[in-house]
Structure 1
Amino acid sequence: MKLNVATEEIATFYAKMLDHEYTTKEIFQNNFFHDWRKEMTSEERKKIKHLEKCDFKEMHKYFVDRNEARKALPKEEKQKLKEEADKIQEEYGYCILDGHREKIGNFKTEPPGLFRGRGDHPKMGMLKKRIMPEDVIINCSKDSKTPEPPSGHKWKEVRCDNTVTWLASWTENIQNSIKYIMLNPSSKLKGEKDWQKYEVARRLKGVVNKIRSQYRADWKSREMKKRQRSVALYFIDKLALRAGNEKEEGETADTVGCCSLRVEHIMLHPELDGQEHVVEFDFLGKDSIRYYNKVPVEKPVFKNLQLFMENKDPGDDLFDRLNTTVLNKHLQDLMDGLTAKVFRTYNASITLQEQLKALTDAEDNVAAKLLSYNRANRAVAILCNHQRATPKSFEKSMQNLQAKIDAKKEQLGEAQMELKRAKADLKAKKDVKSKAAVEKKKKLLEKIQEQLLKLNVQATDKEENKQIALGTSKLNYLDPRISVAWCKKFGVPIEKIYNKTQREKFAWAIDMADEDFEF
């Protein structure tokens, strides 16, 4: 069936995703089909009534073949494409800020497609519309030359606001959120902001014990409001929970944070698995990621939770005398600039620093030190609930790794046999040539043993990492100076921890931190 251009384009969005698990989810299918039908002509609508009767396989094959062809291009062709991309980057990827040429982060608008969302997002599969010049607000200085819109179009607005750091913005159609064109993380402005964020978290270190004593005392307060606030603060501190902001009803998934927890989100166990006073949490957090945890808490916290839940229905607020505004105002009173996120940054960074001290062995080789680093980072990711689904390619890449390990073991066996033969040869001949042969075989054996160890460490790391996302905490919650200091102290190349883009983002930390840096 020949489709009109708009209908066909939207069909290709779905076809490209055929081998993705999203397209197997009912909510994704329903949202896609609903939005697709809206864009069809009346003739198409009469014919196309059921998604399961549509066969997208040929379209899917077209895109797979096109990708394969692109991968198989000769080196010169690939180089040509790279040069074209670099030319665009050179023209649009920079701006002048306070007289300095700064790199722009994301200078392209998002293309149209199907909204994926994270977790079980209720809007997954909906159509993300194409951004037109008429949707875009340009922000530049009064004396600059305003960029020209594409011919026949005009910008939504051109403004000169030097109190914000974005260069252009538009509102996307799925959640009505504003998207921005910002400076690259490596820019001076972003670096300063980053540095300030970690300095606020370091300031918390000086007052955190006082804050903890205060909220412990408030567990016994006569005011219910104070009790609720102190228990919530305990959770934010101990479990790195987000404060949770109010949202429009029905706008997004039913996600909650600490202040918006409901009675149904927790279960109290006086005793569970040999531990006392256990709270079982089960709710959808930011980005619809499920937060599930069983935590033993202090007895007064447990008693207070029992009190807060008395005579309430499952759908009632657990902290009915508290909201994020009240909590944030209280945090501000405790320390200038303090928010729930600062607690998260502080606890994440402190955890990394303590774990690195406990896990790193100076005698280890670089591969083993990196495993220790990733284990420390993993402890932070677990604290912050940075989970991910096991990657689709996990099984295959594990099999490939195992095959490499098996081949290396075989190689090791052969090298051991060869060394044995060389030693026997030396015993019989006792000449210089035989002695040199033994040394050579010894070196080869050691090299193979080291390679095998490296592969085994890699496999352990991969297995432990399959359901944990390390990137989020590494880029947003961990003071990079801790990692830089660790690298310098233990002789680990910084590029093993941070890739090129990340090294640009954290250039300020790489310059600033020496091996004795303490968070």
Structure 2
Amino acid sequence: MQLEHRGPYFVPPYEPLPKNVQFYYDGTPLKLSLATEEIATFYAKMLDHEYTTKEIFQNNFFHDWRKEMTSEEQEIIKDLDKCDFGEIHKYFVDKNEARKALPKEEKQKLKEEADKIQEEYGYCIMDGHREKIGNFKTEPPGLFRGRGEHPKMGMLKKRIMPEDVIINCSKDSKIPEPPEGHKWKEVRFDNTVTWLASWTENIQNTLKYIMLNPSSKLKGEKDWQKYEVARRLKDVVHTIRAQYRKDWKSKEIKKRQRAVALYFIDKLALRAGNEKEEGETADTVGCCSLRVEHIQLHPQLDGQEHVVEFDFLGKDSIRYYNKVSVEKPVFKNLQLFMKNKDPSDDLFEHLNTTFLNKHLQDLMDGLTAKVFRTYNASITLQEQLKALTNSEDNVAGKLLSYNRANRAVAILCNHQRSIPKTFARSMQVLQEKIDAKKKQVEEAQEEVKKAEDEFKDTKDSKAEVNVEKKKKLLKRLEEQLARMNIQATDKEENKQIALGTSKLNYLDPRITVAWCKKFGIPIEKIYNKTQREKFAWAIDMAGEDFEF
């Protein structure tokens, strides 16, 4: 593979605050050193966000900020409560508003500058073809947010420097030049991987990569292969299920534990629970690492039998809470696994991800817990679309059915989000629009009645035309009102569900494309421009009769 590129685009250096924008400590203005000021701006920009109200965020930020201060600043700044970032916050709010209010020509100039950077850094030459790169920019420094109640929220994300970056290109290519006065950490010529540059971020100690754009041929092929593996599972899943049911009664406790874990991975789309990265402090678990304290058994609950109540922190510290009725042998096995154990003991002490993954490989080549998630997510979408779509509905009604089907998948995969802070206000605005539209409909109904009465009295052809005109207007207004009501329902049902993750990573896009083609829904109603580029292979490939 021949690969040549420009290297990553680095975030421009920090621009100091104007002299009239001050930071105050204990009511007194305090001039900060450049590094300390830059970190103060990260916090100031987030003042109106709920993160800055959380104690763990505040503590982590203050701890990391103090580490970057000069010794003189450390002597003075000892209490976050005495810090006043108000002026800095206002400066950035005003700056943001000013940018939005720029005249058209100025906005065009900024767009041209961005296009120039995209042109220079956003493409590579691969095997003689010009291919688009995905995220060609390094992440800007800032404060780590994390998802859920992440224990590292508020920590300082450091600026990525060329000295942190490993470049990957081919031996015969022109090696990218680092920015002046800098050098790369390393240059590699590895044609077995698909990344162009990589570095380790300082908070989770995880590797970050610059990759090809999802629309590139190589990415499209990998995507297609992923869904084809999940489709292969369809042919053997019944055999696998019969096998783990049989293993629930095995004489070997190890096999029983593996069979119950596999049932959870299959039925609940739980992650296997890979070992955490070094330095990872969040107490997050997956199926293999569940502890006794993470589940409660209820012989009967809410009118159901054999209920398991799960409560643990999953990936990205997102809470997984679920009450599910399981088959009787699973329930009995769980009672056995929990017997004489402390809450902090492992539920599956004879199980680890290596042992489980090896077993999955033996069952089917390429099978992993993630393949189960992809398979179950895609099958769920396909079944839900069949059950929910009404061919008589208008486009808005069909789209609501699509989002409901997608929501069923997001719930299965535990893709939650916190309710957006703007949710209540935007619902209020939408409700006001609905109320105004209702009023217009009522007025239009009266107009139709008036016009009909006039026609009855006069039998005049002009009056007849007027009736038709008024009826057309009423129909249009009623359709608009129906669309708004559907939008409000969709918004309400969606407030705590993140649809994007499953849509982009777990759902075979050919199911969506086939559904759109079958019901005459424009594909752009489901996928935006970037997503259409990513799934170009599926849009070309899938006919309306595609079955996962």
TM-score band w.r.t. shorter chain = over 0.9
CA RMSD of aligned residues (A): 0.8
Match of 2:12 in 1: none
In the superposition, the TM-score normalised over structure 2's length comes to 0.94
Match of 1:72 in 2: 101
1:189-226 superposed Cα distances (whole Å, 9 cap, x missing partner): 11100000000000000000010000000000000010
Correspondence 1:456 to 2:485: yes
Amino acid corresponding to residue 211 of structure 2 in structure 1: M
Q: Map 1:439-478 to 2 at 5 A.
A: 439-478=468-507
Q: Map 1:265-280 to 2 at 5 A.
A: 265-280=294-309
Deviation at 1:121, TM superposition (A): 1.2
Amino acid corresponding to residue 199 of structure 1 in structure 2: E
Partner of 1:158: helix, strand, or coil? strand
CA distance in 2, matches of 1:128, 1:402: 40
CA distance in 1, matches of 2:453, 2:298: 68
Amino acid corresponding to residue 338 of structure 1 in structure 2: L
Match of 2:314 in 1: 285
1:149-172 superposed Cα distances (whole Å, 9 cap, x missing partner): 111111111111111000001111
Partner of 1:348: helix, strand, or coil? helix
2:350 to 307, 316, 321: 321
CA distance in 1, matches of 2:163, 2:210: 16
Partner of 1:399: helix, strand, or coil? helix
1:286-327 superposed Cα distances (whole Å, 9 cap, x missing partner): 000000000000000000000001111111110011100000
Q: Map 1:349-428 to 2 at 5 A.
A: 349-428=378-457
CA distance in 1, matches of 2:204, 2:378: 32
Match of 2:465 in 1: 436
Match of 1:191 in 2: 220
CA distance in 2, matches of 1:447, 1:210: 54
Deviation at 1:120, TM superposition (A): 1.2
- In the alignment, structure 2 segments of 5+ residues that lack a partner are 1-29
CA distance in 1, matches of 2:155, 2:384: 43
CA distance in 1, matches of 2:275, 2:71: 41
Correspondence 1:37 to 2:98: no
1:334-378 superposed Cα distances (whole Å, 9 cap, x missing partner): 000000000000000000000000000001000000000000000
Amino acid corresponding to residue 415 of structure 1 in structure 2: A
Match of 2:167 in 1: 138
Correspondence 1:500 to 2:529: yes
Deviation at 1:249, TM superposition (A): 6.7
Calculate percent identity across the aligned residue pairs: 86
CA distance in 1, matches of 2:182, 2:277: 33
1:160 to 189, 212, 215: 189
1:114 to 143, 162, 165: 143
Match of 2:246 in 1: 217
Match of 1:336 in 2: 365
Match of 2:16 in 1: none
Match of 2:334 in 1: 305
CA distance in 2, matches of 1:100, 1:400: 49
CA distance in 1, matches of 2:353, 2:73: 49
Deviation at 1:19, TM superposition (A): 0.6
Deviation at 1:431, TM superposition (A): 2.2
CA distance in 2, matches of 1:510, 1:289: 33
Partner of 1:180: helix, strand, or coil? strand
CA distance in 2, matches of 1:407, 1:379: 33
Amino acid corresponding to residue 398 of structure 1 in structure 2: M
2:232 to 203, 218, 232: 203
CA distance in 2, matches of 1:259, 1:454: 46
In structure 2, relative to structure 1, the CA distance for the partners of 1:250 and 1:87 (3 Å cut) is closer
Deviation at 1:250, TM superposition (A): 5.6
Correspondence 1:295 to 2:324: yes
1:176 to 182, 189, 205: 205
In the superposition, the TM-score normalised over structure 1's length comes to 0.99
CA distance in 1, matches of 2:303, 2:344: 30
1:238-265 superposed Cα distances (whole Å, 9 cap, x missing partner): 0000000112576230000000000000
Amino acid corresponding to residue 518 of structure 1 in structure 2: E
Amino acid corresponding to residue 535 of structure 2 in structure 1: F
Which runs of 4 or more aligned residues in structure 1 lie more than 4 Å from their structure 2 counterparts after TM superposition? Answer: none
CA distance in 1, matches of 2:417, 2:180: 44
CA distance in 1, matches of 2:276, 2:243: 30
Q: Is the 8 A contact 2:205 2:277 kept in 1?
A: no
2:78 to 13, 29, 49: 49
Q: Is the 8 A contact 2:205 2:278 kept in 1?
A: no
Correspondence 1:347 to 2:343: no
CA distance in 2, matches of 1:250, 1:95: 34
Deviation at 1:36, TM superposition (A): 0.7
Partner of 2:65: helix, strand, or coil? helix
Amino acid corresponding to residue 57 of structure 1 in structure 2: G
